[in-house]
Amino acid sequence: MALAPADTGSETTTQIDRAGVLSGRRFAASLGLDAATLFGLATVVSLLVLIEILVRTGAISSLIIALPSEAIGAIFHGETFLKLVQATKLTFGMVLAAMVAEVVIAIPAGYLLYRYKAFGKAYEGWLASLFAAPIFLLYPLFMVIFGRNNFTLIFMGMAAGIIPIIVHVRLAFTSIPPTLIKVGRSFHMSESTIFWKIMVPAGAKTIFTGIRLGLIYTLINIIAIEYLVDAGGLGRMVSDSYFRFDITGTYTAIIAVTLVSVVFNIIVNRIEKLVR
Amino acid sequence: MSDVASPAAEAKGPSVAAIKIATIAVLLVVWQLIAVSGLLYKGLVPPPLAVAGALVTELIGTTLWRDLGITLFTSFSGFVIGSLIALLVGIWLGSSTFFRRAFEPYILALAGTPKIIFLPILFLVFGLGFESKIAKSAMSAFFPVVFSTIGGYLQIRLILLRVGDSFHLRWAQKVRMIYLPAMLPSLLVGLRLGLAMSIIGVLSAEIAYSDAGLGYRLMRYSDQFQIPSMYATIIVIFALASLVNAGFNHFQRSRLRYLERPGE
């Protein structure tokens, strides 16, 4: 019985908690969000407010961390926004060019490695090693060969993105159940019809996974080299501000590039879901 | 497109070893031909023998080993820190649907962002020394490990979690005796990727700003147009990445074999 008051208190607290959660859920539902999403959003906003207070009070130097309000607000200023749009166009134009080259080269290459199995086995270990290798380190070499221009960036993006596509195209064709191909043969389909009507649709999901990985690797590598050589689009936006020691500009550029990457990843994931 | 799915063509083909040897030979010949053809600037593509000579010079010198040691130290230190944080966060998010739904979208969004753009923040916060490289390594390792931990935790059989509860195990005991062994196959995949990402992350930070390490060494040779030494450094870096990858593969297979033994 000695526990009774505590029990009552706990019960009351639980009721308050429940009421709080319920009202939180109602509020979240009214915004079209679930409670967890709202909690995540509230945490991020709270962190930003905390950083804002710490920087404004001088607890954190504004030479190290920019005011979140200024850095985020600057994205929507006319000049910065225009720069962001131009940089995004430039970077994604290069990513697109690299991707076209990757698909054109990697799909036949992956098919040939499937078709000639000894070659596939011989190269699979090398391709796996290249998958994990820092290919972007070759950029000083290609800078000298092709010059400090967009073609070098496209080439380096392609060199990194082509590997996962080749690996997944080969994997897609080797994973097709032989029964499917036997069914095609039993219907007296030509080899070309079997390829286009059976093998390509059956391997489409795996091939698309490779293309998605290739796309992400291409974007990451192009932005990395843009940052390192201070050329091109999105990567250059960050390095340019940093080299001028424009702290707010640096944070603005980083947030802007992050937002562009997030939107890009959402679009790619949506497309992948459609394909699946 | 003829004979699209027939295995007959492969049965009579060359062996895997022969293909590998022939490929290496062809690449070396092509390299030599490009080097002597004069198609590119003089000295830009040195002959294979010149690069082999530079590689030997690098290997017998002491400075390469010092730079290699620095890159390995910063990579592994950051990898350990990033993986430990990722493990804790991963178990936390894996065990709570609410928190996973709240925070996973943000982690997912950051994971898809090129981490190199965060280098200025790391340089501002941690300085230009090895601390910022360790932080970059930790950041690179964090994302693959956190997702593999969440995935691994979600695959743990409910009965194992209940056994832990019924024995009133403490949280640390549950992690050691239930979570880690049950998550191991998924976790090892994330750790392998995380280690590769850590090394790449450190190299990119060393290229951006450093006065030591393999990334710095590569840029110094590039700036001084010491092309054979630059090629030699690239070979060392690619060999290091391959060795670490192969070593972790071996460790992964041995751990999984150990777990699959009857009675384990």
In a domain? residue B33: no
Backbone angles phi, psi at B38, to 5 degrees: 80, 10
Cα–Cα nearest to A234, from A255, A248, A214, A216: A255
Question: Is the Cβ pair A191, B2 closer than 8 Å?
Answer: yes
Helix axis angle, A139-146 relative to B227-260, nearest 10°? 140
* Residue B160 belongs to a domain: yes
Based on the number of CB atoms within 10 Å of its own CB, is B199 exposed (0-12), middle (13-18) or buried (19 or more)? buried
- Which residue in A232, A228, A259 sits closest to A242, CA to CA? A228
Q: Distance (Å, rounded) from C-alpha B45 to C-alpha B101? A: 52
- CB burial class (10 A; 0-12, 13-18, 19+) of residue B14? middle
Whole-number pLDDT of residue A190 = 87
State whether A64 and B125 contact (CB < 8 Å).
Answer: yes
Does residue B210 lie within any of the structural domains?
A: yes
Residue B2 reports pLDDT greater than 70: no
Kindly list the distances between the CA atom of residue B73 and the CA atoms of B187, B208, B212, in Å, as whole numbers in the listed order. Answer: 22, 18, 12
Q: Which CATH class is domain A70-275?
A: mainly alpha
Q: Is residue B170 scored above 70 in pLDDT?
A: yes
B253 in contact with A, Cβ within 8 Å: no
Tell me, yes or no, if B222 comes closer than 8 A to chain A by beta carbon: yes
Local structure of residue B123 (DSSP, 8 states): H
Domains held by chain B: number: 1
Please list, in sequence order, all residues whose beta carbon lies within 8 angstroms of the beta carbon of residue A89, skipping any fewer than 6 positions away. Answer: A233
CA neighbours closer than 13 Å in the CB half-sphere of residue B12: 3
Mutate to test the interface with B, among A137, A258, A261 (most CBs of B within 10 A): A137
- For B90-121, write each residue's pLDDT tens digit: 999 998 999 999 998 889 888 888 888 899 99
Q: DSSP letter for A136, please.
A: G
- What distance in Å separates the CA atoms of residue A207 and residue A170, rounded to the nearest whole number? 9
Quote the CA–CA distance of B74 and B122 in Å, as a whole number.
14
- Supply the pLDDT for residue A2: 37
How many Å lie between the alpha carbon of A8 and the closest alpha carbon of chain B? 27
Residue B82 counted as domain residue: yes
Residue A32 neighbours by CB under 8 Å, 6+ apart: none
ipTM over 0.85: no
Confidence of residue B261 (pLDDT cuts 50, 70, 90): low
Distance CA B46, CA B189 (A): 38
What's residue A18's pLDDT?
A: 52
**Residue B123 sits in a domain of what CATH number?**
1.10.3720.10
- Does B106 touch chain A if contact means CB atoms closer than 8 Å? yes
Q: What is the pLDDT of residue A10?
A: 44
Domain ranges of chain A: 4-56, 70-275
Measured CA to CA, the distance from residue B88 to residue B93 in angstroms comes to 9
pLDDT in tens, chain A (276 residues): 333 343 444 444 444 445 554 555 565 566 666 888 899 999 999 999 999 999 999 998 888 889 999 999 888 887 888 888 898 899 989 999 999 999 999 999 999 999 898 998 889 888 887 877 788 888 888 887 888 888 999 999 999 999 999 999 999 999 888 888 888 889 888 888 888 888 888 888 889 888 988 988 898 899 999 988 888 788 888 888 888 888 888 899 899 888 888 888 888 878 877 776
Q: Please return the burial class of B162, using the count of CB atoms within 10 Å of its CB with bins 0-12, 13-18 and 19+.
A: exposed
Q: Distance from B68 to chain A by nearest Cα, in Å? A: 15
Q: What is the pLDDT of residue A3?
A: 37
Q: Please enumerate in sequence order all residues whose Cβ is within 8 A of that of A166, keeping only pairs 6 or more positions apart, or say none.
A: A106, A109, A110, A113, A127, A210
| Residue-level pLDDT at A265 | 80
Q: Which has more pLDDT, B6 or B22?
A: B22
Mean pLDDT of the region B226-233: 90
Residues of B whose CB is below 8 A from A239 = 120
| Residue B70 placed within a domain | yes
pLDDT value for A23:
57
Query: Could you say which residues from 24 to 63 on chain B have a Cβ atom under 8 Å away from some Cβ of chain A?
Result: 40-41, 44
Q: Residue B139 — pLDDT band, cuts 50, 70, 90?
A: very high
Assess if residue B225 is contained within a domain.
yes
Q: Is residue B43 part of a domain?
A: no
Q: Where are the extended beta strands (E) located within A75-229?
A: none
From B233's Cα to the closest Cα of chain A, the distance in A is 10
- Residue A25 pLDDT: 58
Q: What is the residue range of B195's domain?
A: 56-260
List, for residues B30-89, the tens digit of each pLDDT value. 989 988 887 777 778 888 999 999 999 999 988 999 999 999 999 999 999 999 999 999
Percent above pLDDT 70 for chain B: 92
Supply the pLDDT for residue A74: 86
Structural contact between residues B192 and B248, judged by C-beta atoms closer than 8 angstroms = yes
Report if residue B51 sits inside a domain. no
CB contact under 8 A, A65 and B3: no
